[in-house]
Amino acid sequence: MNRFSRRTFLGTTCKAALTPLAAPLILPSRVFAAPGRPGPNDRIGVGYIGVGRRGNQLMNLPPEGRIVGAADVDMRRAEAVAKKRQCRAYKDYRKMLDEPDLDAVVIATPDHWHVRPALHACLARKNVYLEKPLSLTIREGRRLVDAVRATNVVLQTGSQRRSMSGHRWGCELVRNGLAGKIHTVVIRNYPSPWECAFQAQPAPEGLDWNEWCGMTDVVGYHQDIFIQRSNPGWISLRPYSGGEMTGTGSHGFDQIQWALDLDHTGPVDIWSEGGPLPTLVYHGPESLARGNDHCSRGRNVRMRYRNGITIRLEDNGPDAGGEFIGDLGKIRIGNNVVTSNPEELVLTPPGDLKTRLPAIDDHIQNWFDCIKTGDKPIADVEIGHRSAIICHLGNIARWTGRELHWDPDNERFVNDDGANEYLDRPRRPGYELPART
């Protein structure tokens, strides 16, 4: 098979022509500064909510951005960032949202802390970069979409593969029919989350563990809960996340939606082979870190769209992408590399493609540009929400162990009250979502 990567990407040349002005220039209002929307020449003041590993990775901002605050329930982290970046430190992100020099926030918290601060940011008219998956539940994700639309903030989902040349090229090949009519997409069989039962450890000084637990029931601190991908880490534990189904899986399903041009909808039939997934409790390293195959073995999920295209979750499926199988061949996308069978598909000259996708190469730069123009970013809130829904559907199919019929327009299961109970989760008093705008 031929391989296509960023190094071998075939670019295209864009030409521009200047013409004399025939009438007075009238600038649209969007080029001027407005609350929450800096002017074209203003620097964007950015605050960070959650400054662990991922939060720090997102601090290399384009030149027009400046870091003005760092908020974390672990003050050791917030103060370390404040010292390094010469900004303010907060334990309560809501105080940071009140600052007049703050235009936008980057939210890089555990999944159970995604939507609540994003909603507070909307209420404060601050733009949002929210790490994937957009939500912990389908219902809270829809609340966030509604809030973004009501307040006109710009929200970019951290689905950065939409800003990577290899993934874009692979999706363009699929959209242009190089593999023919697609009938099947294969993706990795991502594990669902564990339940957890750790022996409590002393919490580190400076960490507000009660606040970290947030909407979930308070359990004793343990480093293998607190650290994202340790043994196994919060990303693989059901109170705080949807496991790797919503972790790396959110990238893979997002690529499927993009390649198939189905960002506005989702599958209608979902089922898991092998019956309900038994309750699997993680006690320690002997249970195997990050779920491995224990939370997916023998529970291969299948999904089908209205147009008949089927998604198959397989143990050998590509990670963070998908293998698109059509009547003329296969196109496999994974981690910014594209391969095909027949191999000449990936060698198609870009000029031969009628459908092209936005050539965005910097995810945060795209967010900044849209903050200043008011346009929708490459991974707008609705896109992030729809991709997260598919991840949640996969977990719900495993938990129920039966075929489910999903209404993507009304975001409910059809004639299945039991499955609809999984659309939301109870929230601990004091951590309710803010009132609708």
Please report the pLDDT score of residue 320 as a whole number: 86
Phi, psi of 143 (to 5 degrees): -55, -40
Strand partners, 283: none
Whether 336 and 161 have beta carbons less than 8 Å apart is answered as yes
Identify which of 421, 395, 425 has the alpha carbon closest to the alpha carbon of residue 193: 395
Q: Which two tokens stand for residue 45?
A: 């003041």
Identify which of 143, 153, 51 has the alpha carbon closest to the alpha carbon of residue 106: 51
Per DSSP bridges, beta strands 127-130 and 155-157 are parallel
Domain around 402: 165-357+383-423
The reply to whether 7 falls in a domain is: no
Look-up of token digits 């990775």: 57
Whether 92 and 78 have beta carbons less than 8 Å apart is answered as no
Please report the pLDDT score of residue 424 as a whole number: 98
Identify which of 44, 252, 42 has the alpha carbon closest to the alpha carbon of residue 167: 252
Look-up of token digits 């609705």: 382
**Measured between alpha carbons, how far is 227 from 245 in angstroms, rounded to an integer?**
18
CB-CB neighbours of 12 under 10 Å: 10
Please report the pLDDT score of residue 205 as a whole number: 96
State the Rg of the chain over Cα: 22
CA 243 vs CA 136, 151, 159, 191: distances in Å = 11, 31, 17, 6
pTM comes to 0.90
Q: What is the dihedral of CA 115, 322, 59, 127, to 10 degrees?
A: -40
Helix runs in 324-432, H state only = 363-373, 381-400, 417-420
The reply to whether 211 falls in a domain is: yes
Amino acid present at 235: I
Domain containing 225 — which CATH number? Answer: 3.30.360
Residue 44 three-state SS: strand
Whether 293 and 274 have beta carbons less than 8 Å apart is answered as no
Residues 6+ apart with CB under 8 A from 333: 166, 167, 170, 171, 255, 259, 318, 321, 322, 323, 324
The reply to whether 27 falls in a domain is: no
Amino acid present at 294: H
The reply to whether 390 falls in a domain is: yes
pLDDT digits (tens, 9 = 90+) for 275-291: 888 888 887 665 554 44
The residue ranges of the chain whose pLDDT is under 50 are 1-33, 289-291
The reply to whether 83 falls in a domain is: no
Look-up of token digits 């209608």: 268
Sheet holding 412-413, edge to edge: 3-4, 337-341, 329-334, 322-326, 182-188, 310-314, 301-304, 269-272, 404-407, 412-413
The reply to whether 401 falls in a domain is: yes
**Measured between alpha carbons, how far is 366 from 255 in angstroms, rounded to an integer?**
18
Please report the pLDDT score of residue 278 as a whole number: 84
Phi, psi of 17 (to 5 degrees): -125, 140
State the total domains in the chain. 1
CB-CB neighbours of 283 under 10 Å: 12
The reply to whether 253 falls in a domain is: yes
**Residue 66, burial from CB neighbour count under 10 angstroms (0-12, 13-18, 19+):** middle
The reply to whether 287 falls in a domain is: yes
Q: What angle do CA 169, 175, 178 make, to 5 degrees?
A: 80
**Measured between alpha carbons, how far is 52 from 11 in angstroms, rounded to an integer?**
36
Q: Which two tokens stand for residue 227?
A: 């650290």
